[in-house]
Chains A and B, each alone.
Chain A
Amino acid sequence: MTQPDNFGFTEEAALLKDSARKLLAEKFTADVLHGMVAGDPTPERGPALHWDEALWAQMQELGWGLLAVPEAQGGVGMPLVAVAGLCEELGRAAFPCPLLPTLSASYLLGAAGAGGEAPLEAIAEGATASLAVSDANGSWDLAQTPVECIDGKLNGTACFVQDIGKVSHLLVCARNGDTTGLYWLAVDAPGVDVQADAIVDLSRDQGRVVFAGVEAMQVCADASAAFARAMPAIWTLYAADMVGAGEWQLQTTVDYANQRQQFDRPLGFFQAVKHQLVDVMVDIDRAKSLVYSAACAWDTEPEEAARYAHMAQSAASDMAASASSRSVQCHGGIGFTWECFVHLFFKRQKHSQMLWGDGPWHRARLASIVMG
């Protein structure tokens, strides 16, 4: 093993994580989130875009958006382990912003080599971006990329594009003859039609993007190597977000269990409640430790990164399911109401849980690595 004992988690990383936690705890509590995103409960509410652009701008000033941009392109070039720490805090607040997609794009661009430099410089200067890589089934397999590049122009429809209403740019996977390349363009480029999705999660937005003969800058002609390198980082970030959200769910539910009295005792006295919440804690801790090891593997032994990222995503995704169900159940009737904040996290977790492959999917991939 060549990994450092402390995951490479430096004082600087601890500072970043800490300050994010404080900032969000002060400015973005769950009631602020609820007030912002939960205005329209009707099931037919349609697509919505709610976020605090001013607070996000403040975070951009702190340099969060360019953490994954290498120094040579004007960024900070933080190790993934530090970035994962930050994403955990974002998840803890379920903060609606385009950080995860922008970081995802940064890792993919960084892995793409020389062609990725110009877009990375744009991100360093404040551009935000999302990945347009999935088809209507949610597959991001390069062989099934839903967009095609013909005579240098993009055509097709990419689905499940994250936070599409918040980003300025897109990083697209498009077939180009025998290979699949990466393309960079502004969301408002001519020929791009964004159709927002009506989604369950209130803390994010999502959409499909229709490309009709769109000009785009080619980042690389063959994205396979860049994809293989970047996906473990992307999985790790979303897993970190789930871990943070899980911590909120646990803490909130424990607080409730300590305060709500039934049968003349606080709920937490009863083992049917206590043991469930302990199991959620155990699930969170496993996922969290695996997230840090996955990030550390990506930073220090890239050839092992996929193996560890599959473990982290599988653990985080399963934990998200258990933390969600237990948080609603242990709140009882109140937990089933729109007013109670737990549904916000319940929905964000469901979204994250399935976005980049669920537990069984990651275990199937892990099994092919480990068992052939």
Chain B
Amino acid sequence: MSADQQKDTPEQAEFRAHAQAWLAENTPEPPTVRLPQSPLEIMTTDQLSYLQAWQKSAYDAGLVGCDYPVEVGGGGRQNCQRIANEEMRRARTPFMPNVIGLGMAAPTVFYHAQEELKQRLLPKLFSGEDIWCQGFSEPGAGSDLASVQTFAERKGDKWVINGHKVWTSLAHFAEWMILLLRTDKSVKHDGLSYFVVPIKSALGKGVTVRPLIKITGETGFNEVIFEDLEVDDSYRLDELGKGWQVAMTTLAHERGAGELVTPSSGGMKSESTHNTSAMALIDLARRTARNGATAAEDPLVRDQIMQQLIREQGLAENNRRGRVTELLDHPMRLALQNKLLMSEIMQDSAGIAMDIEGAAASLYLGDGSAPDGGQWPMAYMNSFGFTIAAGTSEVQRNILGERVLGMAKSK
């Protein structure tokens, strides 16, 4: 019996048993299409439908949204999402495509929307039927999120929206968008309001989604232009002028410090997906020649890989310690480190892999002799998506310094 299991309440134990039994029967076969390295790079409908089918079946089995109330389409359970995630990870299931919906939109809607809106939106969000996207960033407002300019003007009980969002992941598939915009130009933070907006139904009628190409050559994010889009006031979350507070709920969950656990990916390992763990580095080093031996025998390579292994294990142990209150000096200290550490570990691992490959790291996906199919250079490039998106590493360090260590706010 695993240690996770020993601590389960009877209800959790029963849920875990259910999850294990279901996953043993229902973990999907690897897809025939090449899957992207993360949900942020889903480009084609083939990729999407494979992943969407998986999310739907996991939802039907009760493994998604389990800690939300039944009335909004959840499982009505207590602290079970973590268990579902553990079991999905163990079963190496594929990741869920509705990553922004599950991670950011769901908790925000849950904490800030009217009851009726919750009941209407959340079930299809959990099942993956409705993909969601996040319209926060603008060409002129990234790290300085509170300076967004996309403007909504009141017209009776409607709002008319004009503006330009950018780097909007998954907007090309999204039914709905969570949207931070300005309703008052005379004040900064207090001039913001927060909406949920149906964008797919408005394509060509006030909304334009244009794909942007990433440094990897993939698509997956977009710019979104609003031209006189009319939306109903009932789509506003929380009070007028309280958009910044609502956005804080979104950001806390986006950065892994929110209360509602996000249904997570399984970390499936197959030829079509890629993992950048230290174990994958060891595997690569054993297959790579250098100076008449394998890279795995080179003391410098060994040291670098062990540093990565220790960082990974340290992160896992941080997460474990984060649940032992007696061993915490500040409630958010570890939770707020998570995103920073994870993204930088991934980046450094991929960088080390490219050093190990040497000249062969120049070969990309389209080259038949590329080691691991060219996945490492792609992972290295993609890793910058994670150190930039959801608050750059620099901004994360600001937040940690200010909120945890109590240092003066940088502008």
Contacts and interface: CB of A to CB of B under 8 A. Distances in A.
Contact of B310 (A11, A292, A315): A315
Given A366-B309, A371-B296, A281 B314 contact: no
A1 to B, nearest CB: 6
Classify the interface of chain B: helix, strand, loop or mixed.
helix
Contacts, number: 147
A293 B33 CA distance: 40
Given A1-B2, A5-B4, A371-B296, A363 B303 contact: yes
A143 interface: no
A308 B314 CA distance: 10
A268 B408 contact: yes
Contacts of A11: 326
A314 interface: yes
A360 B303 contact: yes
Interface string A280-306: 011001111110110000000000000
Contacts of A266: 407-408
Contact of A364 (B282, B303, B311, B409): B303
B3 A4 contact: yes
A38 B408 CA distance: 33
A9 B4 contact: no
Interface string B375-411: 0000000000000000000100110111011111110
Contacts of B314: 285-287, 289-290, 311, 315
Contacts of B282: 370-371
Interface residues of B, number: 47
A275 interface: yes
B407 A7 contact: no
Contacts of A57: none
A271 B394 contact: yes
B398 A274 contact: yes
A281 B408 contact: no
B18 interface: no
B323 A6 contact: yes
Interface string A10-21: 010110010000
Which residue, A257, A287, A288, A289, has most C-beta atoms of chain B within 10 A?
A289
A292 B321 CA distance: 8
B302 A265 contact: no
A289 B410 contact: no
Given A314-B306, A315-B310, A7 B401 contact: no
Interface in A121-162: none
B294 to A, nearest CB: 10
Contacts of B324: 5-7, 9
B405 A254 contact: yes
Nearest to A85: B327
A266 B318 CA distance: 30
B408 A289 contact: no
B320 to A, nearest CB: 6
A314 B313 CA distance: 12
B257 interface: no
Contacts of A311: 309-310, 313-314
Interface string B220-251: 00000000000000000000000000000000
Nearest to A360: B303
A187 interface: no
B396 to A, nearest CB: 8
Nearest to A288: B321
A268 B76 CA distance: 45
Give the interface centre of B299, B397, B401 by most chain A CB atoms within 10 Å: B401
A23 interface: no
Contacts of B408: 258, 265-266, 268-269
Contacts of A3: 3
B341 A282 contact: yes
B2 A293 contact: no
Nearest to B299: A364
A32 B2 CA distance: 47
B317 A293 contact: yes
A277 interface: yes
A1 B3 contact: yes
Given A258-B408, A371-B282, A277 B303 contact: no
B326 A290 contact: no
Q: Which of A282, A292, A293 has the most CB of B within 10 A?
A: A282
Contacts of A315: 310, 314
A268 B407 contact: yes
A367 interface: yes
Nearest to A4: B3
Contacts of A273: 407
B340 interface: yes
Nearest to B306: A363
Nearest to A311: B310
B137 interface: no
B44 interface: no
Contacts of A17: 326
Contact of B3 (A2, A265, A286): A2
Listed from nearest, the 3 A-B pairs whose CB atoms lie closest are: A268-B407, A286-B314, A289-B317
19 contacts: A1-B2, A3-B3, A4-B3, A7-B320, A9-B324, A258-B408, A274-B398, A274-B401, A281-B333, A285-B318, A285-B333, A286-B341, A289-B320, A289-B321, A311-B309, A314-B310, A315-B314, A367-B302, A367-B303
Given A258-B408, A269-B410, A275-B398, 12 more contacts: A2-B2, A5-B3, A11-B326, A254-B405, A254-B407, A271-B397, A271-B410, A279-B397, A287-B314, A290-B313, A290-B317, A363-B303
